[in-house]
Each structure stands twice: as structure tokens, then as C-alpha cells.
Structure 1
Amino acid sequence: MTTVAAYAAPAAKAPLERTTIERREVREHDVLIDIKFAGICHSDIHQAREGWGEAIFPMVPGHEIAGIVSEVGPGVTRFKVGDRVGVGCMVDSCRECENCKAGREQYCTSGNTGTYNAVGRDGEVTYGGYSEKVVVDENFVLGIPEGIALDEAAPLLCAGITTYSPLKRWNAGPGKKVAVVGLGGLGHMAVKLAHALGAEVTVLSQSLRKKDDGLKLGADHYYATSDPATFEELSGTFDLIVSTVSAPLDLGAYLGLLKTEGTLANVGAPEEPVSLNLFALLGGGKSLSGSMIGGIAETQEMLDFCAEHGIGAEIELIAASEINEAYERVLSSDVRYRFVIDTATI
């Protein structure tokens, strides 16, 4: 075991504090990563505050990890010391079910092993990226291409793949009209990716406060959802709507913005249930769907796509001592557009 410094939530809703954790020794197929940067995802806050249900404490959040390989196990074939790598939202799965074999490890039928707030198949609790080092099986490590700065790459391991996957699944591209609901950590990546894929992109945000940013990121249009006229003007417009917000929406109103047989894909995860009059789906043969991160192969595809198109996250680099302040700012939508921890400050 190796002792490393980390920031952990000692209990639900408690401020995160500096501590130490134990990392396992490198096994046959393990990669030891010196973490350089770790993104702060809204889901870190949900879990640290038990917004999604009972959690495991102490908790070291962080599933947007970018770093450098410092050691590999004797059986490792995919990585070598010095490689630039990333780790996303999961660090293991059963690898035997239909979904795992199809490259959809995120939907492992026996449950994937989360990068933190989970119990691994070895019975040990997992701890995330707000730490100096992490040990991960090579099959759940991603290569970060040279074309992306490590700090801007970290958020791609969650925010990037979470938005890339539904855009690819529903064929966002030339000739398609795509709307992105919310311009935050997820939303700003959805805009960049949809634009790079060739779609006509519209941002739907509560206000026009971030309009200039949205247009610079690649949006063609920007509307305020607080204005009822928006829903009248855009009725029947979109092939695909990707909702990135973690607050309940009036789903019927947004379904009304879809073309016939259009899809509303949810990647945000509100803590509260939402309701829906099913006639909003029946009229027009529309689909309401969900999407959760992506498989390992698709995540690597996303990273390669981002490198090819010069895409990284828009970040605000912070010291570890600023994590608790950053959490409050995320909840206040006061970040442009992803906090990333410089782990050298832990």
C-alpha cells in the first residue's frame, strides 16, 4: 500500500478537508498514475452531499482525472511510464456481460465500479481524483493525445464523453438541428462537440447572460427559456435536444420543441423526480431518453476527436484549498465552465 495526500468529505454535507488515503500496490495489469489535474463535476457535489442517496464516507471525489503514468504492472501492454493518461467515471466492470462485451461498460448488468464512492470487486472502497496518485486497471485507463493540454483534458473524461455519446448516438451532424439545454460544465462541451460534428447548434438557457460565450463556443443561436415566446417561436424545430441541467424541467414544453420523431436526451440527473404527460410523446412520435457517460472505446474515440478538432474544456484552474468555495460557486452557476484542481497543491 502507498499513502498519498487527498481531499475528502468526512461525512455527508461536511466541508472537504486534507487527509491521507491508501492506494493499492500495482498489480499485474495496473497502471499507477501521478494525477496532475482533477475536474470538479456537479455529480461530485451530489454524491458528497448524498443528493443521490446514501454514500460511502470518507469520500474522495473526482472522476475527471488527467496525469502521467509513473509505474505499470508486468502484464500491462497498453501504456508505459511517461504516457499522458486519463481516468473517467469508472474503474472496473464485470467484463463478461453483453454490455461489457459490446463496449458499453457503463451499463454493466452487474454494475460498473465507480471511480469513487463505490466498492470494487476486490472489496475495497474506491477513492477518486482529488488526490496525488491513483492505481487503475489498464483496461479503464484512457490515452490523452498530445493535442490536448492535460488541464483542459481532465473534464473531457466526464463532461466530454457524457455529451459526445448522445450526440453520436442520435447522429448529430450536418443537416441536423441540435439544441443544448444549459450552458454549464456539460452544456459548454455539448456545444463545442455538436458544432465540431457539423450540426446547427442552439443553446437554450434560462437567460441571455452567457449568450456571447455560447456563440463563441460554437452555437449558431441562443434563446432564453425564461421567455415564453421562445417555446412558441421554436416549436417543432429540433431533431435532438440534449438536456444537461440537474434541475427538473417542464419536459412537455421541451418535447414541444422537437420535430416529428425527434429525441430529448437527458444527461443531467436531478435529485427530484420529474413528471410527464405522455401525450407530449405520443403526438409526433417523439422519444424521451437518457444517456450515461460512455464506454471505454467510445471515450477514447471522443478524446481523439477532441484532439483532431482542437477541443478542450473551458476551465478555471484552482488550488485544492479552494475546493469548498468552488462547490458553492458551482451551485450558484458561477464558473466558466469547469473548475479543475491543480493536484500539485494538495
Structure 2
Amino acid sequence: MDTGTHVVMGLALGGLATLDPAFSESSAATCVLISVMVGSQAPDIDTILKLKNNAVYIRNHRGITHSIPAVLLWPVLISGLMHQFFPEVNFLHLWLWTFLAVFLHVFVDIFNAYGTQALRPFSAKWLALGVINTFDPFIFGMHIVGLILWAIGADPGYTFLAIYAVLVAYYIFRFMERRVVYRRVLIMIPDATEIIISPTLKFHQWKIAVMNKHQFFVGRSLNRKVEILDQFNRVEVPQTPVIEAAKKDSNLAAFLSFSPVYRWEADEFDDYYEVRFIDLRYRSKDYYPFVAVVQLDRDLNIKTSYTGWIFSEKKLRKKLEIIPN
């Protein structure tokens, strides 16, 4: 989920913790609120990697910091530190609530299209259920409603207990909606070998990317009606010298480690080659914004490269710092 949602979830867990008799005192309630707030944000500490470059960020975001060892380690570190400032607080209860905050952060991230590597170190596979958008207005809005009710005097524990019961039902309903879309895609493309369905900000709209043995299909579902917008022939990536040299670039390597469905292009210009890989999951207004581009000179030395989100060819060229011929 996005940072804002993780923040309000941390506050909500602080409200739920008031149901625990161990935090009946004001100082204990303050301690657990701070602890669950930090725990709700801790796994996303790897966001700082974006300051280095997109390749490092893509390869590592929601990786080791969302792994099984991290989920176990974060609560120990956070609750242990907080216990130094609030030694009177029951450590076991503090650890349990902090663990719940960290666990829920990783757990809800699995429901996004981006997903996490939550099974590391046992598996590097990305777990991405594609049911909830990274920012879901309903989930965020329900938390805001709960916080407002808390602010005007409602019992925070029972308020958020009721809200979370509603959200569980909401998640189940989203699964059911996605299942309907999946079945309709399968009717339309019965020989599909992989179907990727991604949620959007709009409740009844989904993005769709499908593969069979020979083609890629890109489409959308609006109000349960499936529409195919683009089709591409599947062409195996050739093992040419240009492609093999481009694959050594860190930006392209990061893209390939993350993207499960993409097409490629290789172009030759007067004094350089350009290799482009295009993720098909994120079509937006006739454009595919998540790409990896590598430009090489005639001796196959990498001149420049880029991977990430870009929404126009002009901006991409600016990122590459090369004016096209």
C-alpha cells in the first residue's frame, strides 16, 4: 500500500490496542501507539534506495525488508527500543502489537499488483495477488472515518474493530470481482497461459495482460465487461550481440528481474543501438509507461540507460540525455 495508508493503519492499530488491558494507562497507550506507528512504516525503509537510482530501488523495494526474517526482527528492535523509554509497559504485549503492525504492512502489500518477496529467504518469487490498488480510496477513507470518530469521542478499539470487519468483507468482495473478470478473460482467450489482472483507482475497472503461446493481449475490464485494446505477437528475445550486451546493464537487469510480461524492440541508428523492453501490465492512455531502455555505441559499450516510469517519449529522451536523430 502507499505510505499514507500505512500511516492511518498504524493509527488504527494504536486505537485497537486500547482494547488490551495492558495499555490502560496513558503512558502505556502512548508507548504502543508509537511502536505500532513505527512498525507500520518500518518495512518501507528501503524506499530510501530510490535516492541512489531506479535500478537499485526496483531490485530491492519490498524485498529483504518485507522478508520473513525482517518481519520477525523489526518487532524485536522496535519494541525493545520503546521498552527502554517505557520500562513499566508489558514487553510481551508491546512486542505482539508491534509484530501485528509489521505483519499487516507486509500482508496487505501482497494484495497489490506490485507485490512483495515476502517468502524470502525460502523463495525470491514475487507474491502479487492484484486485488487491491496501491492506493485504495475506500480503505483509506474508512480509516479516516475511524480516526474522525475517535477524535470526536468514540471508543477507538470498538470503532476500528467494526471498521476492520467491514474491510475484511471488502477484500472478499474484491476477490470475487477479480474472479469474475478472470473467468471472462478466459472465455475470450481460452488458450491463455498466463492472465495478469491489476486493480486501478476505479472500483469497477481493472487492467489486463494476457499471454498465450503466440501472442500478448492487453486490455481492461470496466463494469465486468472485458475489452482487448492491443495485441502483439510473442517474439522470443534473440541472443544477438547487441541484446546480450544490453542485458549486462543494471537498469535492464532490474527490469527483467521484476517484470513478468513484456515485449522488446531493438533499433539501429547512425552511431548507436537502442534496446527497449516494455512492461505490458500498465497501459495508460495508449502508452506503456514502465520501460527499460539501453543505448549502446557501435562497439557495444553502454552509453546510457534508464528504467522506470516515463509518460512521454520526450521525457524519456531527456532522461537518456540523448537527442534522437
Which TM class, normalised by the smaller chain length? under 0.3
The structure in which a higher percent of residues are strand is 1
Higher helix content, 1 or 2: 2
TM-score, L = length of structure 1:
0.25
Q: TM-score, normalised by structure 2?
A: 0.26
